Every structure is written in C-alpha cells, then in structure tokens.
Amino acid sequence: MSQFARSPVTAVLGPTNTGKTYLAIERMCGHASGMIGFPLRLLARENYDRVVAMKGVENVALVTGEERIVPPKARWFLCTAESMPLERETAFVALDEAQLGADPERGHVFTDRLLRARGREETMILGSDSLKPMVRALVKDAEIISRPRFSTLSYAGARKLSRLPRRSAIVAFSSEEVYAVAEAIRRMRGGAAVVMGALSPRTRNAQVAMFQSGEVDYLVATDAIGMGLNLDVAHVAFASLRKFDGRRQRRLTIAEMAQIAGRAGRHHRDGTFGALVEEGPNAFTPEEVLAIEGHHVPPLERLYWRSGEPDFSSIDALIDSLEARPNHPVLTAAPEAIDLIVLKRLAEEDWVRARTRSPAMVRRLWSACGLPDFRKLGPDPHSRFVGRIFGHLSEGAGHIPHQWFADELQRLDQMNGDVETIAGRIAAARSWAYIAHRADWLLDPEHWAARTRGVEEKLSDALHDRLRQRFVDQRTTVLLRRIGAGAADLPVDVAADGSVSVDGHALGRLTGFRFEVSSDTRVADKRLLIAAAEKGLAGELRKRGAELVAATDAELSLSAEPGAVPELTWNGLTVATLTGGTTLDRPVVTLDRSLYVLDRTAQGQVRDRLAAWVQSDVARRAPTLGALAALARDPAASGSLRAVAAALTEVGGIAPRDGFDVMLAPLDGDDRRRLRKAGVLIGALDLFDARLFKPAAARWRAALLAARDGHPVEPLAPTGATVLPVGQGAWGFRRFGPQAVRVDLIERLAQAAHDARKGHAPFAPDPALAVSMGLKPETIVRLMAKLGFRPSAPAGDVPQWRWAPARRRAPTPTPRPVARPGNAFAALAELGFDR
C-alpha cells in the first residue's frame, strides 16, 4: 500500500453518460497536482488535450506505453492505467473504469491501482455500479457516491441494417465482421467510419472525426467504443451478442451490453439501442432489455489480482510473487498474462539466468517482458522478440543498437498495401514506439521516439485513407478528405451558371439558395453531397443573403401567374410567397423554404426588405388600395366614409354601385371629395379607380386578393383589352349580352351620352367611341338601357335615344337583428352597412 493510503477516497459510480470523468478532471485541476489512469491511450490523449487547454502545455504530462510527454514542470498527469507512475507523489489520484478489475486480461492492473494508487489529499475511483460491493470490501473507508445517467437510454427493437437511423453505431466483435458490416453500409447508405482496438489512436481519431463531422452517418466498431469514447451516437445496434474473449466464444454479460449500449445519447440527449435481428442468439431477451434500460448491472463478485510490488531478488522469486494467491476473499489470482508467459519461457534459457543474477537485472528483464504483444503473434514469436531485446539490454552499455532499430523502422516505413497489411505495420510500429519511450533502453530515446512517431503517423494516415476508400463510396473520396480538414477549408467552386464542384468533382447546381445534386448521382451519395455542399457553400449563401437584403427595387418583382400562389422574385428566382395580412394592402411575406439555409437574423433582414418593397410597390403601382385602407382606419373620417372605404378595400377598389347605394347616401360633400382624393370615382354603374386597370396595378390587386383569401391568382384580362367575348369575363368588366365591357370605359360612354343629349329629347350619340371599343350593336343596346337610355324613332338610318331613367324607389330596409351594445358590428349597423 502507498503511504497515502489513508487519504480521503471517493468512489463515484454509475452508468455511462453520468459525467464521472468530467467530474474527476475538474477535481484534479482544483488541486496543486494530480494523476488520472484511463483504460485506453485514446482516452488519455483526449483528456490530456482538455487539461492542456486549461493548465498550459508546460504543466501537463501524457504517459502511455507508446507516448510519453513529460515537461520538467509537469504537475498534472494523464496516463493509461498500466503506465501510471505510482512512485510520484501527487495531491490527487483517480482511476477511470475501475470495474475493469474483473477483466481476465488486464483486470489485475486495475485492481492493483484500486488498492495502491492514492493521492496525498484526495483519491477518486470511477466506475460502474457493479463495482460497489468490491469497493466496500476492499476500500472500507471509501465514500460511495452514485450518479444517475443524464439522459434516457431505451430499447428501440430490432432494425435491419438498411433501416438504421442516422448517427447509428453498429457493434461487432471481430475484424472480419466489422469489415463485412462496413461494406454493407457503404453499399446501402454511402459509407461508414470504422473503429477497432487494433487501429492506432491516430487512425481511430481520424475515423471518429469523419463520423463526428457528419461526413458519414454510420460508425462500425468493436466493443472498443464502450470505454468512454465521446461520440455523437443516437442509436447503438448490436450486430452480434457473442464474442471471443481469448479463450472461448461466449455471450456478452449484462454489464458489457450496458457499457456498449450506453454510448447512445450524449449529455441530456436521449439515446436508443437494439439488435439487427428480432429472434435467435443475437437478439436481446426481455430480461436483458429491462436490465439495460434500468441500468441494473449485476454486482461484481470478484476482481482479478496480481502482486503490484513483486519480488525482484531473483527470477524464481519474481515468478513466485507474480503467481502468489491473494489473501482476500473477493480477490482471485489473475489468469496467466502474456508478460508472465514470456518471463517463464525466458527463465528457461541459461543465458537469461546467467544475466539476471542481480535484482537490477531481474527488474530489467521484467521491464522487457512488459512489452505488449501489439502484433498478436502469440507467446512463442513474442518471447523470441522480447528475448532479443533483453539480450541487447543486458550486454555492453545496455542499449538497443540504433542500426537494428533504424532498419526495422525503415522496413515498416512503406505506405503500400491494403487495410490488413498497413494495420499489421502499425501494430509492429507500436512495439517500436513502446521501446522508444523506455528512456534507458536507447542511447538517444528522444530522437527514436520522434522517428517512430513519424512512421506511425504516416501509416495511420495511410490506413485511414484505405479505410475511407474501402468503406466510403469512391466517387466522394476526395470530397470527404477535404471536408475532414474543416468545412471552412473546402475549395467549393460556384460557376457563373450555378454549377458547384469541389476539386473538379461536380456536386450539382446552386439555383438561388437551393442546392440540387447532379442528376447522375446515386441515391446513396446524395445525402453526403448535400451535407458537403451545405458546409462548403455556407459563405456563398451568406453572400447571396446579403445581396438580397441590399437588392434594389428593380431586382425585385411580383409573380402573379393565374392558378398559382402569388410570389416575390429576386432576379427571377422565387424568394417568398404572400399570404393574408391585417388588411388587403399589408400581406404577410413568407420566405421560400430554400432561404431556410440562412441564419435567423439573415432571414429576418430578408423578410423586412421584401415587406418594405411590397409596401412601396403597392403604393406606387396601386395607390388606391393603400389610400382606401388608410381612410378606413382614419379616426378623423366620418363613420359612413370609413364604412365605404372598408367595404371597397375588401373587394380591391372596384365594385358595382348597386351594392353601395345605401352606404353612399349618408356621404356629404366633404366625404365624397375625400373619396375622390383617394382615387375612387363614383360612376353611373360602378365605383372604381381607372388606374387599377393598368397591368402592374391589376397584377397587384389580383395577387393581394388571392393572398388574403388563400386561393390561386385568378386570370386577368389581356393587357389593353376593352371588351371580352362571352365566357371570358374578368374582374372589372360588366357583361352586356355577347360582350363584357371594362367599367371605366362604360363610364366614358355614359359621359359621352350625357354630353350629347339635350334634356329628354331624342338624340343620336357619336358612334365613333363605341366602334373604337369594338362594341357590337346588341352590346350597345343593352349598355344604353342599363345607363337609363331608351330607344327612340330612328332619324333615317341613325338610331335615336332619349334619356328616360327608371324612377328609383327607396330601398325597403329588410328586418335585421338588433345589434347588441358592444358588438363588433354595432357601429356598422348604425351606419346602415349591410354585410
């Protein structure tokens, strides 16, 4: 036990996504010094970067088997559990994923750290709830704190590979199965990232980054993702529920299932898990589902143990101490690990025994046996490799020859080959990286560590590239590689015709704010290309949004096609539609969905610009509509005038006079002058403003009425039309027999007839005006009759007319309900406005 064994110990236990590691980092940084042991080199590196950002690179150390960064003034250490420098005194010590003490292969390491690793002021043990009885039995003075999961983890049932949701991780338990699943995902969904324990940290980081950035939406992994890797996974799918544990093929334990499934969801975002099949040995049982959802993992009954302070007095004493049995009932002797197997085999060699006659050389031999079998060669080949290393360490100056090291490194420095070949080279390079970080094994360890790191990084990049080429569709390989460098670095080219390409790879076309993928693109590729284009085109879209906000009036226009909804266009591109507003002249501008790519602020600015243009163009093209609406709201106007203005606004400024006679009767001279000033002429048959028949005004009136009523735009009369044949009536035209006549021209005919007559005497109007309009004789007869003229005896061949208007009788008011005081229509009732 360490001399700090009596420092306060806290065991923070709970399922995944409870913030245990985050808490430990925060606690450590609150002390003057600290150390945390992690289960993976990748996790140690990830958290090293976090602490460096808080404390500065000169104060933080990274210690793993293959990487060692220890500045002279380092006070905070991020390590793998095996590499924790327990001889160093720190104020704070933590062990992550301590339940791995039950792992047959590495469990004895975590058990030793649980028992011996202590901080001077505080110690934290992090792990699953299953560890609780072990902590109570082995660390009796520990305070146990249980933390609940931040989000909900729920079972989503079985889903086929082709139906998995986006942001899914598919878990398999052999490299062959991982590759098969990734290949299937590539064919069906465009591509997948791959994460396996056999990959180097750099390759794993690159693959994870590809998934995290959204270049691919699927991740195929082994159970390596269960050890705390922070991934943006929404769903975890198990391709299998059985694994080979190094000794036999067996079903996963509840704890293993929960650890892996718990990767779904992040912080307060819920996650789901499931299998790929509904029935059979690879399907979840109801009991397993309930246990995982409720985070009920069976308590551990034992931990594996091996002496953490072995006897180095001789080889035999070392072996005996490593094979010693624990003296605690919850501890059991660890299975024979590869380092002990190698030690026993080397102990049979006479030359080894001859060179290990001192405790220092025994310790050196054990240090060499600690070299992991990264290449998974098995005990015999690995023993021979370790034996050669110890041979160099135990002779001469005790250093590995630099020529041998350089030759082996040079042999590995090749980037050709497939995934399996490069992965094998990386495994071998990791062995040399481990050797290079043993300070007393090489004459110039810093130089060789840098050389080894360079080779491993190149191999890792090559492996990442091979994985990308193999498991992501070849058409998008170059594009995805550039995306991995960051969306801001994407060299997106937008041609004058809107064609979008990256590094010469055509993506599609940008029309306005809408990106359309090339027509020859496979369905599986479209999602990736759209996502890539949205990232790369962000700057171009922001630029177009700014141009739209600054658009001149000449660049904006109204599209009011018959049968369609009214739209606003910018240089011919649809950017918004119009819907009903508070009054006819104030419609609501609704942006086209293609503009949703802009941020909220930009959308608001565009909407304000378009609304301002609508107001100004309506005021310029159809001023009557705005003037009538303003008159209806004017508190200084009489009630009768406001009622007439409101009713005219409702119908768009043109209406038959018949329906307005009762409302017009109370108007005095001032009211009528104000109505004329607004542009309304009270004609013989109609109320109208002749300016509304101009093409631009007519389009606005039709568009505003359609927007208000939620109907398509009605057809307009042909530009310049004065009469329409039967069956082609339109607003602003009155039908007279075989023809419909525009109402402003009817008023001109009425005025001309009245100017020509003298009292009630017969007269012959000038036929030139009617002929110029294209009126047929039958139309003229019906029109004149409607205006109050009756036919008289012709003077020769010239028709005669006389003024004989029908006597108007006062309209008999129809009984109507008495308006209740305060009713919204009470005021209109008083004004005689009949709805």
Summarised one tens digit per residue, pLDDT across range 178-225 is 988 998 888 777 789 998 877 877 888 888 888 888 888 899 998 877
Query: Could you give the count of Cα atoms lying within 13 Å of 753 in the half-sphere of its Cβ?
Result: 27
Q: Are residues 36 and 123 in the same domain?
A: yes
pLDDT of res. 486: 42
**DSSP letters for 548-612:** HHT--GGGEEEE--TTS--EEEETTEEEEEEE--SSTTSPEEEE-GGGGGS-HHHHHHHHHHHHH
- Strongest mean pLDDT among 68-77, 231-240, 621-630, 637-646: 68-77
Q: In the 3-class helix/strand/coil scheme, how is 151-188 assigned residue by residue?
A: CCEEECCCCCHHHCCCCEEEECCCHHHHHHHHHHHHHH
414: buried, middle or exposed (CB in 10 Å: 19+, 13-18, 0-12)? Answer: middle
Instruction: Tell me the C-alpha distance between 646 and 524, whole Å.
Output: 57
pLDDT of 514 above 70: yes
pLDDT of 554 above 50: yes
DSSP reduced 3-state for 235: strand
pTM for the model? 0.57
pLDDT of 817 above 60: no
- Give the range among 100-114, 178-192, 742-756, 809-823 with minimum mean pLDDT: 809-823
Residues whose CB falls within 8 Å of the CB of residue 806, separated by 6 or more in sequence, listed in order:
788
Instruction: Tell me the C-alpha distance between 753 and 515, whole Å.
Output: 62
Q: Give the pair of three-digit tokens for residue 420.
A: 């399996």
Residue 597 in domain: yes
Residue 330 in domain: no
Instruction: Tell me the C-alpha distance between 29 and 51, whole Å.
Output: 8
Q: Supply angle C-alpha 231, 234, 237, rounded to 5.
A: 95
Using 50, 70 and 90 to split pLDDT, how confident is the model at 533? low
DSSP reduced 3-state for 553: helix
Nearest to 259 by CA among 94, 129, 168: 129
**What is the total count of domains within the chain?**
6
Instruction: Tell me the C-alpha distance between 301 and 329, whole Å.
Output: 10
Residue 405 in domain: yes
Name the β-bridge partners of 346.
Answer: none
Instruction: Tell me the C-alpha distance between 331 and 305, whole Å.
Output: 6
Instruction: Tell me the C-alpha distance between 702 and 698, whole Å.
Output: 6
pLDDT of res. 9: 95
- Give the range among 232-246, 292-306, 523-537 with minimum mean pLDDT: 523-537
pLDDT tens per residue across span 607-665 = 999 999 999 999 899 898 888 988 988 998 998 899 999 988 888 889 898 878 888 88
In the block, which residue shows the tokens 């109609």? 686
Q: Give the pair of three-digit tokens for residue 350.
A: 């006479």
Q: Give the pair of three-digit tokens for residue 298.
A: 């069976």
pLDDT of 809 above 80: no
pLDDT of res. 52: 96
Q: Are residues 563 and 712 in the same domain?
A: yes
**DSSP letters for 726-770:** TT---TTEEEETTEEEEHHHHHHHHHHHHHH--TTS-B---THHH
Using an 8 Å Cβ cutoff, are 828 and 641 in contact?
no
Give the other-Cβ count within 10 Å of 731's Cβ.
18
Using 50, 70 and 90 to split pLDDT, how confident is the model at 765? confident
Residue 486 in domain: yes
Residue 298 in domain: no
Q: Are residues 524 and 578 in the same domain?
A: no
The percentage of residues in the chain with a pLDDT greater than 90, rounded to a whole number, is 47
pLDDT of res. 480: 44
pLDDT of 832 above 60: no
Residues whose CB falls within 8 Å of the CB of residue 825, separated by 6 or more in sequence, listed in order:
819, 835
Domain's final residue, options 240, 259, 293: 293
Q: Give the pair of three-digit tokens for residue 560.
A: 């009011």
pLDDT of 1 above 50: no
Using an 8 Å Cβ cutoff, are 238 and 282 in contact?
yes
Nearest to 573 by CA among 590, 559, 554, 586: 559
Residue 257 in domain: yes
Q: Are residues 504 and 651 in the same domain?
A: no
Domain's final residue, options 471, 491, 521: 471
Give the other-Cβ count within 10 Å of 73's Cβ.
10
Q: Give the pair of three-digit tokens for residue 222.
A: 């082994």
Q: Are residues 120 and 264 in the same domain?
A: no
- Give the range among 157-166, 501-510, 533-542, 761-770 with minimum mean pLDDT: 501-510
Using 50, 70 and 90 to split pLDDT, how confident is the model at 488? very low
Residues whose CB falls within 8 Å of the CB of residue 820, separated by 6 or more in sequence, listed in order:
826
Q: Are residues 784 and 644 in the same domain?
A: no
How large is the C-alpha radius of gyration of the chain? 43
pLDDT of res. 473: 63
When the pLDDT of each residue in the chain is averaged and rounded to a whole number, the result is: 86
Domain's final residue, options 124, 146, 168: 146
Q: Are residues 238 and 97 in the same domain?
A: no
| Signed CA dihedral, 123, 129, 131, 132: sign only | positive
DSSP reduced 3-state for 45: helix
Q: Are residues 65 and 112 in the same domain?
A: yes
Amino acid found at 114: L
CATH code of residue 100: 3.40.50.300
Residue range of the domain that includes 561: 556-716
Residue 637 in domain: yes
Q: Are residues 764 and 639 in the same domain?
A: no
pLDDT of res. 474: 43
Q: Are residues 710 and 576 in the same domain?
A: yes
Q: Are residues 703 and 577 in the same domain?
A: yes
- Give the range among 6-15, 66-75, 123-132 with minimum mean pLDDT: 6-15
Residue 578 in domain: yes
Q: Are residues 140 and 167 in the same domain?
A: no
Over range 331-343, report the average pLDDT: 94
Over range 727-744, report the average pLDDT: 82
